[in-house]
């Protein structure tokens, strides 16, 4: 994903708008709020979308979430309402008919919004709370560094994700571990939001924090301790672990193995001075972290770099561009195409180009000065899970012959998303507003009707395609995730402690060795 960010100085996320005012105390705010979201989609989506399709989907979602039958003439009703300019009346009637007492206005609005994004593209979403922070690339990095999930019926609350560099990672917690108690309080039956607050803030923290508020809250919070009880699959005994709630830096630049102090050792071939650097999600500090890490490696004599973008999910546009700039001369990195005024306002800092009578907006991202690592021998390793910003970096280095690309063809995900606050507490709309193309104008994005022979994604250079099975790819992804989360100083043996366990990496390393002889 390439998540679009506004012109600097950027806020943490667009500030949430207040719910639209009801006409009378007895009226529902749902109709006005929904029309507000319909207009956001009409104005911001990358392709024209008919209002009747949005209204029909929104009302269908309202009926579905309450388990009621969707009226067969719903679309006809929407068409008539649009012609008569009576959409509000249609929505008011539907809201009263569909179990008004069982859904509050926010629940009704979110149900309709989720139904509308289903008729757009797979990358449009309705996000709530922590999901929005992660997608935006900006997180409130105070607490213990866990993402929770209560989707299963098993005892305790499952750990969905552990953030590298966090207190939880350093303590050795892993995804799929289950928290059974927090500070001695059993979590069974505890709402997920309450458990997350107790874990990361303490029991006295406010029940709701707006996304725009979190950036400054932790500044006044002292560090504190929280004790959690953990159940790990296959381990009979429960573990009791004390974690420190504190500010931490989420790592997005990884190496080969951790040192005892939890920092990264990047050398894959120490004798030949070849380093392996892996990129995760491209968050707001990724380019700076990458620059600092490469600077230290260059001072230590680095001669070659294996830039591993396998499983890189993308992230912020500016971080993708700034990361690519580190390796390039003055050049065009990529171009962005969109349709709406909102895309034009948010797509970047350079003036947009727009032909007379053409609704398309085009924007160029360029490197204005030579990058500090423009002479380094580089091999970029990609696979079918390399997405968004990872593809942008690989394409730029390949197009300007700064690196050869090895591995497997990338995913073909080059859409640009913008984030809009919804008139529901803590909810945001992620909307596709445009797409990126290579500096040559060649397509990066793969559409649903794209064929294997079409232009999309990034292909490996000739002779450097290293195919592995889907099963082996999943296994390697799991192994590298385990390598990333293993705490410094741990003596646990992992599969990737054996270099031959990753055949793609070994073939790529051999190709890089040959280039720097």
Residue 21's pLDDT is 42
Contact predicate 426/128, CB 8 Å: yes
Contact predicate 365/348, CB 8 Å: yes
Q: Which of 47, 70, 169, 145 is nearest to 481 (CA)?
A: 169
Give, for all 517 residues of the chain, the pLDDT tens digit: 454 443 333 334 555 554 444 433 345 788 999 999 999 999 889 888 999 999 999 999 988 888 888 888 999 999 999 999 999 999 988 888 775 557 788 889 999 999 999 999 888 999 986 666 655 555 568 899 999 986 656 688 999 999 999 999 999 999 999 999 999 999 988 888 889 889 988 865 554 444 444 444 444 467 899 999 999 988 989 999 999 999 999 999 999 999 999 999 999 999 999 999 999 999 989 999 999 999 999 999 999 999 999 999 998 889 999 999 999 999 999 999 887 655 554 444 343 444 444 456 788 999 999 999 999 999 999 999 999 999 999 999 999 999 999 999 999 999 888 888 898 877 899 999 888 999 988 999 998 788 999 999 999 999 999 999 999 999 999 999 999 999 999 999 999 999 999 999 999 999 999 999 8
**In terms of CATH, what superfamily is 253-332+373-414+444-515?**
2-enoyl-CoA Hydratase; Chain A, domain 1 (3.90.226.10)
Residue 15's pLDDT is 55
**Which position has the token pair 């709309």?**
429
Lookup: tokens for 441: 């104008």
Q: Nearest 5 degrees, angle CA 107-CA 315-CA 135?
A: 15
Residue 22's pLDDT is 42
Residue 208's pLDDT is 45
Residue 201's pLDDT is 83
Q: Which of 176, 37, 199, 193 is nearest to 117 (CA)?
A: 37
| DSSP classification of residue 322 | H
Q: Which of 429, 364, 328 is nearest to 44 (CA)?
A: 429
Half-sphere exposure of 220 (CA within 13 A, CB side): 5
Backbone φ, ψ for residue 466 (5° rounding): -120, 95
Indicate the fold that domain 140-247 takes in CATH: Pdz3 Domain (2.30.42)
Backbone φ, ψ for residue 479 (5° rounding): -65, -40
Contact predicate 41/120, CB 8 Å: yes
Strand partners, 364: 335
Please give the Cα distance from 290 to 278 (Å, whole number).
Answer: 10
Residue 221's pLDDT is 65
Domain residue ranges of the chain, discontinuous segments joined by +: 140-247, 253-332+373-414+444-515
Q: How far does Cα 102 stand from its chain's mean position?
A: 33
Q: How far does Cα 431 stand from its chain's mean position?
A: 13
Backbone φ, ψ for residue 94 (5° rounding): -65, -40
Lookup: tokens for 293: 């890490």
Q: CB count, 10 Å around CB of 428? A: 24
* CA-based max dimension of the chain: 78
Lookup: tokens for 185: 């309080």
Residue 219's pLDDT is 47
DSSP strand pairing (377-382 vs 404-407) = parallel
Contact predicate 241/230, CB 8 Å: yes
Half-sphere exposure of 315 (CA within 13 A, CB side): 26
- Omega within 30 of 0 (cis) for the link into 9: yes
Contact predicate 429/40, CB 8 Å: yes
Please give the Cα distance from 87 to 344 (Å, whole number).
Answer: 29
């Amino acid at each position: 994903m390439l998540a679009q960010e506004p012109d600097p100085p950027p806020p943490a996320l667009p500030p949430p708008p207040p719910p639209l005012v009801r006409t009378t105390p007895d009226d529902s705010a749902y109709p006005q709020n929904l029309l507000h979201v319909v207009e956001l989609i009409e104005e911001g989506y990358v392709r024209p979308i008919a209002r009747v399709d949005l209204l029909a989907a929104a009302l269908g979602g309202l009926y579905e979430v309450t388990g009621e039958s969707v009226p067969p003439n719903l679309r006809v009703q929407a068409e008539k309402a649009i012609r008569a300019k009576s959409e509000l009346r249609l929505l008011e009637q539907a809201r009263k008919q569909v179990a008004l007492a069982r859904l509050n206005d926010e629940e009704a609005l979110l149900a309709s919004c989720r139904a509308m994004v289903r008729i757009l593209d797979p990358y449009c979403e309705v996000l709530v709370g922590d999901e929005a922070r992660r997608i935006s690339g900006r997180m409130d990095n105070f607490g213990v560094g866990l993402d929770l999930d209560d989707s299963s019926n098993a005892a305790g609350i499952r750990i969905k994700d552990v953030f590298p560099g966090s207190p939880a990672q350093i303590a050795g917690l892993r995804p799929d571990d289950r928290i059974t108690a927090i500070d001695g309080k059993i979590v069974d039956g505890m709402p997920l939001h309450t458990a997350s607050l107790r874990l990361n803030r303490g029991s006295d923290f406010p029940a709701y924090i707006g996304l725009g508020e979190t950036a400054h809250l932790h500044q006044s919070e002292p560090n504190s301790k929280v004790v959690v009880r953990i159940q790990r699959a296959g381990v009979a005994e429960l573990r009791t672990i004390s974690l420190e709630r504190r500010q931490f830096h989420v790592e997005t630049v990884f190496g080969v193995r951790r040192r005892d102090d939890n920092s990264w050792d990047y050398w894959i071939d120490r004798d030949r001075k070849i380093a392996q650097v892996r990129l995760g999600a491209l968050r707001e500090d990724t380019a700076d972290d990458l620059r600092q890490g490469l600077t230290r490696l260059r001072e230590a004599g680095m001669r070659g770099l294996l830039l591993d973008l396998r499983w890189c999910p993308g992230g912020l546009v500016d971080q993708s561009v700034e990361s690519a700039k580190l390796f390039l001369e003055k050049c065009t990195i990529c171009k962005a195409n969109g349709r709406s005024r909102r895309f034009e306002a948010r797509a970047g800092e350079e003036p947009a180009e727009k032909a007379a009578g053409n609704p398309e907006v085009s924007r160029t991202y360029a490197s204005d000065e030579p990058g500090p690592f423009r002479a380094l021998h580089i091999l970029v390793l990609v696979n079918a899970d390399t997405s968004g910003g990872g593809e942008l970096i690989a394409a730029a280095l390949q197009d300007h012959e700064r690196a050869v690309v090895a591995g497997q063809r990338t995913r073909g995900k080059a859409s640009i998303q913008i984030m809009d606050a919804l008139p529901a507490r803590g909810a945001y709309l992620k909307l596709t507003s445009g797409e990126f193309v290579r500096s040559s104008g060649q397509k990066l994005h793969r559409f649903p009707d794209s064929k294997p022979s079409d232009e999309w994604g990034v292909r490996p250079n000739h002779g450097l395609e290293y195919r592995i099975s889907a099963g082996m790819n999943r296994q390697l992804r799991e192994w590298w995730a385990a390598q990333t989360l293993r705490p410094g100083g741990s003596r646990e043996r992992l599969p990737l402690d054996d270099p031959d366990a990753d055949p793609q990496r070994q073939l790529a390393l051999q190709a890089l060795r040959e280039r720097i002889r």
